[in-house]
A and B are shown apart, each in its own frame.
Chain A
Amino acid sequence: MTETSLLPKAAKFDGLSFDDLVAEILSDAGLAK
């Protein structure tokens, strides 16, 4: 995923920056989930 990928485009429209999107993805990542 890069800044020009589709998910960041949608997130940006919803007010979420690329950095914030990455942080949110990482916060949800985990082997136990």
Chain B
Amino acid sequence: MRAGRGLRWADLQGAKPPDFGFPLVVKPDREGSTVGITIVRDASQWEAALAEAARHDSRILAEGFVPGREITVGILNGKVLPAIEIVPKSGFYDYQSKYTAGRTEYVIPVPMDRTSCSEPRSTRGARPARSGFGEPRGSTTAWIRRKRLLPRGRTRSRE
């Protein structure tokens, strides 16, 4: 199994966890809003995590878990909007944290040490988009987790 690439559930039956260690994240390859995601802390949770992800998609993705702060930055027609820090009270920005009022604090402006974390820059000609990235505590590296274009092709919004 490889990180960053979804594999078919049918090919994962009985597969061992990937070798990049725990914790890791198992998720449906083509879902959103944290649906079907499990943070796998040890090998005993692996099979259940695969089964949960398989309820939502026939392809499954496993990634290394990146601890740290979660910060999202919107880009609108090339203009960088203010960053937002996402602070879920449960510690995990899951479906309930996203869509239940009061379960997550959204911090604007983001308290950030400008000398230790590079800022996202405006991209000429960029379409409306949102990037999520994390700044692991004690680290000087910002990890860009995902980039999304808006609007997405959904029949309804879960945001």
Q: Which residues of A contact B (CB under 8 A)?
A: 1-2, 4-7, 9-11, 13-14, 16, 21, 24-25, 28, 33
Contacts and interface: CB of A to CB of B under 8 A. Distances in A.
Q: Which secondary structure dominates chain B's binding surface?
A: loop
Contacts of B76: 7, 11, 16, 21, 24-25
A9 B106 contact: yes
Most buried by B among A4, A10, A24: A10
Interface of B: 72-74, 76-77, 81-84, 86, 106, 108-109, 127-128, 130, 150-151, 157, 159
Contacts of B84: 6, 9-10
A14 B150 contact: no
Given A11-B81, A13-B82, A21-B76, A33 B159 contact: no
Given A5-B157, A6-B72, A13-B82, 14 more contacts: A1-B151, A1-B157, A5-B159, A6-B74, A7-B76, A9-B108, A10-B72, A10-B84, A10-B108, A11-B81, A16-B76, A24-B77, A28-B127, A28-B128
